[in-house]
Amino acid sequence: MSKTVKDAIETIPTDEINSISLSLVRSEILTKVIEYCKKHNSAQMSDVDLMDWDVEFANVHYTTLFDLVLSANYMNINCLLDLVCGKIADMIKGKTPGEIAKLFDIKDVSTYEEDN
């Protein structure tokens, strides 16, 4: 599922593989990513159940979501990336710029609105 891991496995000679370094991924996030991959690789659940599971999986604090985005991007897992980005987009939908800045605690020097 992860292209990065797949590429790493393919390029390193097999007898030398002991560990693959994923330096950008924290252990808690890696646990979640592994949970996601395991669930999606097992063919047991129906599509609808899988979607429900995905919704539950993505129902976390937004800081975890950002870590997941970075990890999914680094590990090149497209379906996880789409799931988490979609969830963040849902959080942005329907809000004014001020509300978005407040929600994500964006402390920029000045907003574009003020400048213009």
Partner 1 sequence: MTVMENKKQQQEECNKGQLKNCQRKKTSSSSCYSRINNLDDGCLMHIFSFLPPIPDRFNTALVCHRWNYLACHPRLWLRVDRSVKDLSEPGVFPNIESAVSASRPGDTILIAAGGTHRISNIQIKKPLCLIGAGEIPDDTMLTCARGSDSALEFLSTCKLANLTVKAELGCCLLHRSGRLTIDGCVLQCESNPLDFLSCPIVSTANSSEVVPSHIKSNSGNGVFVSQTRIEGGAKAVLTSGDLVLQRVRVVYARTSLLFWFDVVQM
Is residue 92 part of the contact set for partner 1 (CB under 8 A)? Answer: yes
Among 48, 51, 44, 35, which Cα is nearest to 86's? 51
In the bound complex, what is the minimum distance in angstroms from residue 49's beta carbon to partner 1?
23
In the bound complex, what is the minimum distance in angstroms from residue 12's beta carbon to partner 1?
21
Q: Per CB under 8 A, which of residues 95..114 are in contact with partner 1?
A: 95-97, 100-101, 104-113
| Cα 87 to Cα 33: distance, rounded to the nearest angstrom | 16
Is residue 69 part of the contact set for partner 1 (CB under 8 A)? Answer: yes
SS3 52: helix
Is residue 21 part of the contact set for partner 1 (CB under 8 A)? Answer: no
Dihedral sign of CA atoms 73, 1, 54, 38 in order: negative
SS3 1: coil
Q: Which lies closer to partner 1 via its Cβ, residue 46 or residue 110?
A: 110
Is residue 54 part of the contact set for partner 1 (CB under 8 A)? Answer: no
Amino acid at 12: I
Amino acid at 59: N
Of the candidates 14, 18, 27, 42, which one interacts with partner 1 according to CB under 8 A?
27
